[in-house]
Amino acid sequence: MTDRRRFLAFLAGSPLLAAAGLNERVLRDLGAGSHRRAAAALQAAQQAVQDGSLIARASAALNVFDFEPVAKKKIPIAHWAYLATGTDDDATIGANREGFDRWALRPRRLVNVDEPDAGVTLYGTRYPTPIVINPVGSQKAFHPLGEIAVARAARARDHLQVLSTVATTSIEDAIKARGATVWFQLYHDVENWARTLQMVQRAERAGSAALVFTVDLLAGSNREAMIRGARRDPRHCVDCHLGGAPLPGVSAVNDRDIRRKPNLVGYPDVPRIPETGTPTWEFVDRLKASTGMKVLIKGIVTREDAELAVQHGADGLFVSNHGGRAENSLRATVTSLPEVVQGTRGRIPVICDGGFRRGTDIFKAMALGAASIGIGRPYIWGLGAFGQEGVETVLALLRKEFELVMRQAGTKNIAAITRDHIVARN
């Protein structure tokens, strides 16, 4: 162990480290006590020195991880840092993945599951899988078509898509490209309720069936990896970023650049209705009263808040820590899922996101009571690597893996997946 630490310290001081596309976090993980983190770091190191192993086309991928190094190679440094960052030392990103290791599968045999039905119904709309395309901002930072390519992939594979407030595509254009409803994820205007109300009404007019109010970033977050990546990026891009610093959505003075955020612009001037302080449950009451859309809350991780959400009329919840980029709680969302489901007592659907990369991950969440699951970084890897085709392939691989696990577990449909199909590991 002492020799390994000395070797890692030597590597940390080597100029070859950055040239290989590695960073100090990879070295820390190599020496970590967690087997998963050490294995993932070793894989990253191997990929950095074996570019020849990168897939050249989407169809060559064996799993969603195959897209990550390709996307990283194609996406500018600062843009990649924006996608990859967590908060503080990014440890909750790893915790989200490690949370799935707390559960093992209990396969069943001799059940006829040649054609498992993985479909779910959310508010009257049927989808062939429980995989939701979660909101990710600034997608044209990863591919020229951005959210349009994702919407077309969602249409081709018939997935629910949720569009970010800070998307680089308007809600109207996303719904047109999807050919069906797209849910709208809401970041409220911190100073003006009148502008928030305008955004909500616009989404409803455009055809959104649901509003997803995100609450896990209300206190802010400390995205060190994003800032470090921006400092390494030599480009000066005043066309896209105020001040020229190539940080998606943020100017050099750390305020929001809305020039490429169509959902934040184009509103008529109306009298201001000032906001005072951080939103509370009263804000949820206002949202519910302001729209006919379903209102879901994204970022709930405790039983107490799940109970309050139901009391205040929320139509659904996302168990989420923003992919490890909200608080650095070191608590996996799949670990939080059971108590949130308990808090709702089955009265509203619960969607879980954070670290989903395999069909087994999806199955475990469904067994713990999730109505659906959301993915973020994996489909952006596909987008950055191969555009719409990459997104479609990511969705297809996850569906294929999930249906395989359903067959192995002897579950013919989603309703058949229960807590009896998983067991806690020591």
Question: Which residue reads 């050919």 in tokens?
Answer: 179
Task: Report whether 161 contacts 174 (CB < 8 A).
Answer: yes
Which of 79, 143, 241, 322 is catalytic? The answer is 322
Give, in order, the Cα–Cα distances in Å from 27 to each of 5, 149, 163, 245, 342: 9, 35, 35, 28, 39
CA distance 63 to 40: 14
Question: Which residue reads 């209990």 in tokens?
Answer: 106
CA end-to-end span of the chain, whole Å? 25
Give, in order, the Cα–Cα distances in Å from 174 to each of 128, 158, 203: 20, 14, 11
Task: Report whether 373 contacts 131 (CB < 8 A).
Answer: yes
Q: Indicate left, alpha or beta for 344 from its phi (over 0: left) and psi (-120 to 50: alpha).
A: alpha
421 is catalytic: no
> What is the per-residue DSSP string for 126-195?
EESSSEEE---S-GGGTSTTTHHHHHHHHHHHT--BEE-TT-SS-HHHHHHHHTS--EEEEPPPSSBHHH
Contacts for 419 with CB less than 8 Å, ≥ 6 apart: 367, 368, 369
79: Cα within 13 Å, side-chain hemisphere: 23
Closest to 79 measured CA to CA, from 154, 168, 11: 168
Task: Report whether 133 contacts 162 (CB < 8 A).
Answer: yes
Q: Where in the sequence numbering do the catalytic residues fall?
A: 322
